[in-house]
Amino acid sequence: MQDEILNKIMKPKSIAVIGASTKPKTIGSEIMQRLRDYKFNGKIYPVNPKGGIIEGFQAYTNVEEIPGEVDLAVIVVNAKFVLDTIDQCHNKGIKGLVIITAGFKETGKEGAEVEKQLLAKVREYNMRCVGPNCLGVLNTHPDITMDATFAESLPIRGDIGFVSQSGALGGGILNILKDLNLGFAQFVSIGNQADINAETMLEYWENDDDVKQILLYMESIQNPQNFRKLASRITKKKPILALKAGRSAAGASAASSHTGSLAGADKAAAALLNQSGVIREFSLKNLFANAKAFSNCPIPKGNRVAIITNSGGPGIMATDAICESGMQMAKITDETKEKLRSFLPSAASVKNPIDMIASAPIEHYQQTLETVIKDENVDMIMVIYLPFLGLKDIDVAQAVMKIKAENPEKPIVGVFMTTSDFFTKISNMEVNMPFYMYAEEAAEALCRLDQQRQWMEKPMGKVPVYDVDRNKVKEIISKSVKEGRDQLTTLESIDVLQAYGIRACKYGLATNMDEVVTLGNSIGYPVVMKMTSKTTSHKTDVGGVVVNIRSEEQLRNEYNALLKRLDEKGLLEGLEGVIIQEMVKGNREMVCGIATDPQYGPMMMFGLGGVFVETLKDVTFRIAPLTDLDASEMVKSVKAYKLLLGARGTTPAQINQIEETLLRLSQLVNDFKFIDELDINPLLISEKTGEGIAVDGRIKVRMKEAQEFLGCMAGACMA
């Protein structure tokens, strides 16, 4: 049903251009011209109060006067007429809208209010709407051939579905793509994305075979959880490449003034895109250069690259680039080497990079490529050409493409270090492989193909559900919330962790000397003594943590000393008691926890703990909820992973148990969404067992949400 309405926008049989104009260099005129010039395969109805003929079409003074059925209304009237226009479209039975008109959310509060009304109408009338404040839409499919934009160049046909959050950019892109021999299947400038956004288009294109890859230019992600759900499914079928701008604080602030949407924290965006299998690009240049590879190459079977070159230097640079991007230089088989030696001159190198030397004629390119492509150790091939006496670039390119056509199963990319004339020629030809000027660009493109391979080969992760004591956590937090504390005590925090099956060290709370001693003796020395207080959150600053207490006598002394210190500082009153804790021995301190990004929601963190958290930043983030694979990748992706494996004779950590700790935390924050922060620092790796043991915990909730949620839990919605 939703797809049907989207079809009316992306694959319409008839279009009304409301605000069509005869005045040159206006949007109302440009849109009409482009619909005509690109030969829209359907009916075009210009609407203008003055009527007449516009770009050769009969104009109507009102959309309701149009005699035939109208699938799509492209609206370019002044912002103040847009709401009425939508009413008229409804009267006419139109379901698809593209609102080019600007002057809404991006202009401030007033505009945002009108945009709200606009969306309300769209919803009420069961319409779908692109924009407002956008460049328009296009579809190059021969059955449609719709260019309802006002960009400078006409589009060329291709396999890309493109969503741009910047309209202006869309126009520039059309120019660039032409030069790159890349084309759109469909393009949507979502503008203020009042209704239709990137996620809408992802879902729409999921099963549209005309769209073979999806490119996104985003300044914000509207619904990160939904984006993740859709993207992680779709990327298993076709690649999604995304350029997310507003990464820097200054950039985010510019993005915010620009589109009226808050740019989310970049590390959250990075985690989200990574978990969704989206290939992230950091410049338009790379976005398109790599899209070119997806347009022309199959997904490889592995990451082993062979380089064929007629010049040593570029071969070395290519080797550097391939190794630096994490791929492998293919080990050419002896059989292949022998064949190559049979026709290449003795000065040539048949080791990878295969250097045919400068004298290589076109036949050597052909024979070498034909030989190497059959090598079972080779997954991808880079062919490098530098101009030498008499050998013409375009001839080499054509020879290579011929062999590619006969051997379509392996990706081949060309590095042609030649004049721009060559690339101009290529851009006007049918090609079956991508050509680049520089080896580094080609290596990056291959790397992207390989990244897609890895993602597609990876199984979908599962979000495990553990048997936990949810009611216990509810009780603990309820108590804290009722007492007006958004910050749980250490004791409460550790209880929460234990209720979710997270290994925390043995402990007990003592409020007087007798209890202190009883606990110490039952846990066994050495123990740690930690104060727990409703008023003091940073315990170390007041000497509230004493470690390595080796005897009852020492415990007595330390307890007395603590009381004295607190008394002197006037902090005795908030003291709930002291926790007497098992002292876990270990020299590896990790950290894990939960942080909440205002836009992306709860994020899990894991990494090297202790004093290193802030300085070395050897930590990694993922959006919750975590799948088992997410947890596994988190643990492996920090540098400190090597420490966990057991460096210099330390006990190897229980990796599975640490992963489970992360998964249980993820379940916790999923069950109690109002948890704002949770830190386990340190998660100490036991020198004895290799377990990760929470020896400290800190939990903070968002009061208002917590109150609502707990109230709800207590009531009917508890079921």
With CB under 8 A as the contact rule, which of the stretches 63-71, 551-559, 591-599, 616-624 interacts with a second copy? Answer: 616-624
Residue type at 270? Answer: A
Q: How far is the CB of 23 from a second copy (least distance, A)?
A: 11
CB closer to a second copy out of 538 and 719: 538
* 176's tokens: 């660039």
With CB under 8 A as the contact rule, which of the stretches 25-33, 114-122, 625-633, 660-668 interacts with a second copy? Answer: 25-33
CA dist 124 and 113 (Å) reads 17
User: CB-based contacts of 392: which residues, under 8 Å, 6+ apart?
Assistant: none
CB closer to a second copy out of 164 and 275: 164
Task: Decide: is 542 part of the binding site for a second copy (CB under 8 A).
Answer: no
CA dist 10 and 660 (Å) reads 45
CA dist 274 and 257 (Å) reads 27
DSSP 3-state assignment of 533? strand
Task: Decide: is 554 part of the binding site for a second copy (CB under 8 A).
Answer: no
Q: How far is the CB of 254 from a second copy (least distance, A)?
A: 5
Question: Restricting to residues 231-270, which ones interact with a second copy according to CB under 8 A?
Answer: 243, 245-251, 254-255, 257-259
Q: How far is the CB of 312 from a second copy (least distance, A)?
A: 4
CB closer to a second copy out of 451 and 681: 681
Residue type at 32? Answer: M
Residue recorded with tokens 């005045």? 23
Task: Decide: is 548 part of the binding site for a second copy (CB under 8 A).
Answer: no
Task: Decide: is 28 part of the binding site for a second copy (CB under 8 A).
Answer: no
Q: How far is the CB of 521 from a second copy (least distance, A)?
A: 25
Alpha-carbon Rg of the chain, whole angstroms?
A: 32
Q: How far is the CB of 354 from a second copy (least distance, A)?
A: 10
Burial class (CB in 10 A: 0-12, 13-18, 19+), 78: exposed
How far CA 585 is from CA of 7, 314, 548, 609, 692, in Å, comes to: 64, 54, 10, 15, 11
Q: How far is the CB of 242 from a second copy (least distance, A)?
A: 13
Task: Decide: is 168 part of the binding site for a second copy (CB under 8 A).
Answer: yes
Question: Restricting to residues 271-310, which ones interact with a second copy according to CB under 8 A?
Answer: 282-285, 310
From residue 489 to residue 508, the character string flagging contacts with a second copy as x (rule: CB under 8 A) and all else as - is --------------------
Question: Restricting to residues 307-346, which ones interact with a second copy according to CB under 8 A?
Answer: 310-317, 319-324, 329
CB closer to a second copy out of 89 and 382: 382
Task: Decide: is 541 part of the binding site for a second copy (CB under 8 A).
Answer: yes
Cβ atoms of residues 118 and 90 within 8 Å:
no
Cβ atoms of residues 344 and 364 within 8 Å:
yes
CB closer to a second copy out of 519 and 608: 608
- Tell me the site size for a second copy, rule CB under 8 A: 96
* 260's tokens: 């009226």
Q: How far is the CB of 607 from a second copy (least distance, A)?
A: 11
With CB under 8 A as the contact rule, which of the stretches 352-360, 365-373, 469-477, 561-569 interacts with a second copy? Answer: 352-360
Q: How far is the CB of 107 from a second copy (least distance, A)?
A: 7
Task: Decide: is 222 part of the binding site for a second copy (CB under 8 A).
Answer: no
Task: Decide: is 536 part of the binding site for a second copy (CB under 8 A).
Answer: no
Question: Restricting to residues 574-603, which ones interact with a second copy according to CB under 8 A?
Answer: 587
Phi and psi at 43, nearest 5°, equal -90, 140
CA dist 415 and 702 (Å) reads 55
CB closer to a second copy out of 287 and 579: 287
Q: How far is the CB of 670 from a second copy (least distance, A)?
A: 32
From residue 82 to residue 111, the character string flagging contacts with a second copy as x (rule: CB under 8 A) and all else as - is -------------------------x----
CB closer to a second copy out of 427 and 487: 427
Burial 201-222 (b: 16+ CB within 10 A, else e): bbbbbeebebbbbbbbbbbbbb
Does 345 sit behind a cis peptide bond, omega within 30 degrees of 0 on the bond before it?
no
With CB under 8 A as the contact rule, which of the stretches 191-199, 351-359, 405-413, 659-667 interacts with a second copy? Answer: 351-359
User: CB-based contacts of 553: which residues, under 8 Å, 6+ apart?
Assistant: none
With CB under 8 A as the contact rule, which of the stretches 81-89, 434-442, 459-467, 468-476 interacts with a second copy? Answer: 434-442
Q: How far is the CB of 346 from a second copy (least distance, A)?
A: 9
Question: Restricting to residues 390-429, which ones interact with a second copy according to CB under 8 A?
Answer: 390, 417-420, 423-424, 427
Task: Decide: is 712 part of the binding site for a second copy (CB under 8 A).
Answer: no
**Residue 47, beta-bridge partner list:** 18, 60
Task: Decide: is 183 part of the binding site for a second copy (CB under 8 A).
Answer: no
Q: How far is the CB of 173 from a second copy (least distance, A)?
A: 8
Widest CA span in the chain: 102
CA dist 137 and 249 (Å) reads 31
Task: Decide: is 618 part of the binding site for a second copy (CB under 8 A).
Answer: yes
**Residue 162, beta-bridge partner list:** 187, 215
How far CA 472 is from CA of 475, 478, 493, in Å, comes to: 5, 10, 12
Helix segments in 25-101, DSSP class H:
27-37, 82-92
Task: Decide: is 450 part of the binding site for a second copy (CB under 8 A).
Answer: no
Determine which residue in the list 351, 564, 585, 704 makes contact with a second copy, applying CB under 8 A: 351
- Beta-carbon count within 10 A of 253 CB: 13
CA dist 39 and 138 (Å) reads 12
With CB under 8 A as the contact rule, which of the stretches 32-40, 83-91, 608-616, 697-705 interacts with a second copy? Answer: 608-616
Cβ atoms of residues 698 and 537 within 8 Å:
yes
Select from 406, 431, 335, 346 the least CA-distant residue to 375: 335
Determine which residue in the list 58, 84, 376, 388 makes contact with a second copy, applying CB under 8 A: 388
**Cross-sheet strand order for the sheet of 184-189:** 146-149, 136-139, 184-189, 157-164, 213-218, 240-244, 279-281
Q: What is the DSSP string of 50-63?
A: T-SEETTEE-BSSG
Select from 373, 341, 338 the least CA-distant residue to 355: 341
Q: How far is the CB of 177 from a second copy (least distance, A)?
A: 10
Q: How far is the CB of 680 from a second copy (least distance, A)?
A: 17
Q: How far is the CB of 387 from a second copy (least distance, A)?
A: 4
Determine which residue in the list 119, 463, 563, 616 makes contact with a second copy, applying CB under 8 A: 616
Question: Restricting to residues 626-685, which ones interact with a second copy according to CB under 8 A?
Answer: 639-640, 642-643, 647-650
Nearest 10 degrees: CA dihedral of 137, 187, 269, 209?
130
Task: Decide: is 355 part of the binding site for a second copy (CB under 8 A).
Answer: yes
With CB under 8 A as the contact rule, which of the stretches 35-43, 202-210, 267-275, 432-440 interacts with a second copy? Answer: 432-440
With CB under 8 A as the contact rule, which of the stretches 36-44, 167-175, 371-379, 512-520 interacts with a second copy? Answer: 167-175
CA dist 644 and 435 (Å) reads 44
CB closer to a second copy out of 647 and 712: 647
Q: How far is the CB of 421 from a second copy (least distance, A)?
A: 9
